[in-house]
Amino acid sequence: MPKAKTNIFFCQNCGYESAKWMGQCPSCKEWNTMVEEVVDKKSISKSGKSVDRAKATPLPISQVHSSSEHRMETGIKEFDRVLGGGIVKGSLILLGGDPGIGKSTLLLQLCRNLSVIFAQAGKNEKGEYSNKILYVSGEESAQQIKMRADRIGGFEDTLELLAETNLSSIRSVIENRKPDVIVIDSIQTMYQEEVSSAPGSVSQVREATGILMQIAKQQGITVFVVGHVTKDGMVAGPRMLEHMVDTVLYFEGDKSETYRILRGVKNRFGSTNEIGVFEMRADGLREVENPSEYMLSGRPEQSSGSVVTCSIEGTRPILLEIQALVCHSFFNNPRRTANGADYNRVNLLMAVLEKRLHLTLSDCDAYVNIAGGMRMTEPGADLGIALALISSKKDIIIDESVICFGEIGLSGEVRGVSMSEQRVTEAKKLGFQTCILPQVSKEMLERDAKDIIKGIRLIGVRSVAEAMEAINR
């Protein structure tokens, strides 16, 4: 008799299967990601139903009817911005983030807003609400969720709670209650009885996601799934998890800071460049509609090594303060630290300044920080980082009314960046009087956007040498 159970090794990163353990995964080339799991060969997944081959007929693309997706606003503008305008019916959305960052709080506030909207829609002939929300928790009891809900406040009975981890039971509840929105918190706690491995394993996560995707697509239910993250910040489980869902959102932020950033890394129904900014408070998360003003609060006065730059996140311009500290090093290998900026990019810009401006930086410790904990990787911040380093090295105080942006090349040239009009408009709105920008961007604004540049002084620069002269004036 063949064995009913066998041991198979899975890659936690990509889901590759192997009969024996290997140090490196042959598929994704990652090291030490193979884990052993017991698989029951006799078990057959309920989601793996046979397909009637007679019905599987292809259609010419001209006969496929396309229709614009209907979006439902959640009442959280920052959340809708990241999704592309609202949630799409029948979509599967994955939300990841560090423990305690506020994933459950964000989704509970989302459920609160939707519960109010659904309650206003009224009841049907049976006296039940026509639209409902099902919040399924595998980590907390219904009483724990109620305690957080009381802190947030404003819920209606259209929100129903279920503390369950068995997917078969959850599926039967969904078929009976027929909710419009489902929240699964979290996918690592769910398990299917037919799969013999433990909850959170590669097989269980893959099977659970497949069942939820089938429910979302066949019944037109919007499903939100919370996913745990690894120490590297990636969603735990097989990489296939992110491929199966429609949207992948990451909730980022430092626990020591009050702000949180919702970032989309995959979105089949919208852009992946948008971000939403929130502030953590005692009664939940509050939207930050003007993140530029929030990030610049508490800016030091008459201090060298500080300059304001403008970064573009999707379609939104955000003003950020870049701080730099350059001091003489007493070690053979000077220290280089970049907090919020790309470490290799900072080293590259320091090499450009030493070569093109003859600044002696090889014997100096350099620390670059984006105030507020924001992470910025856009090339348009190059000029801000360079001017902050120059200001700290030469002890030059850059006027508080000055803002800058631009990309720096290896020859020391300052290149143009996209969306210059939006950057200047945002700077002008917050009261900045002078803007140091690439010369090509200045010429374009003077030609195409004369109304925008009224009331703000533009200084066009072609190189970092001209930019250094501009802050010396």
Which residues sit in the known binding site? 97-104
Closest Cα partner for 102 from 288, 255, 263, 213? 255
SS3 state of residue 435: strand
**CA-based R_g, the chain, Å:** 27
Token digits of residue 452: 């925008």
Which residues participate in the annotated binding site for ATP?
A: 97-104
Residues 118/133, Cβ–Cβ less than 8 Å: yes
Tokens linked to 156: 């209606």
Residue indicated by tokens 């990163």:
13
Q: In the Cβ-directed half-sphere of 281, how many Cα atoms lie within 13 Å?
A: 11
Helix 382-394 vs helix 343-356: angle between axes, to the nearest 10 degrees? 60
What residue type is 45 in one-letter code? Answer: S
What CA–CA distance (Å, rounded) separates 160 from 42? Answer: 36
The identity of residue 222, as a single letter, is T
| Residue 322 contacts residue 381 (beta carbons within 8 Å) | yes
CB 307 within 8 A of CB 322: yes
User: Degrees (nearest 5) of the Cα angle 141, 74, 78?
Assistant: 100
Q: What's the token pair of residue 50?
A: 């046979």
For residue 47, the tally of other CB atoms under 10 A from its CB is 18
Q: Return the structure tokens found at 196.
A: 């013999």
| DSSP state, residue 413 | B
Residue at token pair 């900072």: 346
Q: Phi and psi of 345, rounded to 5°? A: -70, -40
What tokens does 126 get? Answer: 């049976």
Distance, in Å, from the CA atom of 442 to the CA atom of 447, rounded to the nearest integer, reads 9
d(CA 263, CA 270): 13
